[in-house]
Amino acid sequence: MEAKQLGLILTIILLVSLRINNVIVKGDTGEPYIELTPHKSGVIVNNLLGHGTTLTIHCHSKDDDLGRHYIGDGGKYEFVFGTSFWQNTLFYCYLQYPGAPRVRFDLFNQHRDNCKRCVWNVERDGLHGHTHVNVWGREMIFWKWP
């Protein structure tokens, strides 16, 4: 086999593998590793409202409606999904609890979030979460209730 043909074949294999999945990613520890399956992420929402308050959550993406869920005080709701090669996966959710307005929040935005397991704590003052691990530790996000 000529060097030109071998180079073309290797280039095609590389392009196909990059198209199918994220070959090199960073885990929650920040250490690079090789991932041979499509990238998956998960979201966990913890109800830390206290006082027996139930949180209502209804999440959507462009393609999926995850339905309405009720999270009891101290409970959690979680889901796992595949992320896009094009880095445009978005899950937005409507959240509400008694006495508070219904709000919309981007619970997972692939441009912002670089986590395989994104954790959000819903508290009376707002949503507390982290998006990814950087050299200083976890980058925190706080979103205040309106």
Q: Note the pLDDT of residue 12.
A: 67
On the question of pLDDT at 68 being above 90, the answer is yes
What total of structural domains would you count in the chain? 1
On the question of pLDDT at 113 being above 70, the answer is yes
Q: Note the pLDDT of residue 35.
A: 46
CA geometry: angle 126, 131, 136, nearest 5 deg: 110
Residue 86 lies in a domain: yes
More confident residue, 10 or 19: 10
More confident residue, 138 or 53: 53
Q: Note the pLDDT of residue 85.
A: 81
More confident residue, 43 or 12: 43
Exposure pattern of 105-142 as b/e (b: 16+ CB <10 Å)?
bebbbbeebbbbebbbbbeeebbbbbbebeeeeeeeee
Range of 74-83, 105-114, 134-143 with top mean pLDDT:
74-83
Give the span between the Cα atoms of 142 and 36, in whole angstroms: 33
Over residues 109-134, mean pLDDT: 83
- Identify the residue whose tokens are 């309106």: 146
Residue 44 lies in a domain: yes
More confident residue, 103 or 16: 103
Q: Note the pLDDT of residue 139.
A: 60
Residue 123 lies in a domain: yes
Q: Model-level pTM greater than 0.75?
A: no
Q: Which structural domain, as residue segments, surrounds residue 50?
A: 38-144
More confident residue, 99 or 85: 99
Residue 49 lies in a domain: yes
Q: Which of 119, 131, 71 is nearest to 96 (CA)?
A: 71
Strand partners, 95: 57, 103
Residue 27 lies in a domain: no
Residue 87 lies in a domain: yes
Mean of per-residue pLDDT scores for the chain: 80
8-state DSSP, 112: T
3-state secondary structure of 43: strand
What's the Cα-to-Cα distance from 23 to each of 19, 38, 52, 93, rounded to whole Å?
A: 9, 8, 44, 29
CATH of the domain at 107: 2.60.40.10
Share of the chain above pLDDT 90, in %: 49
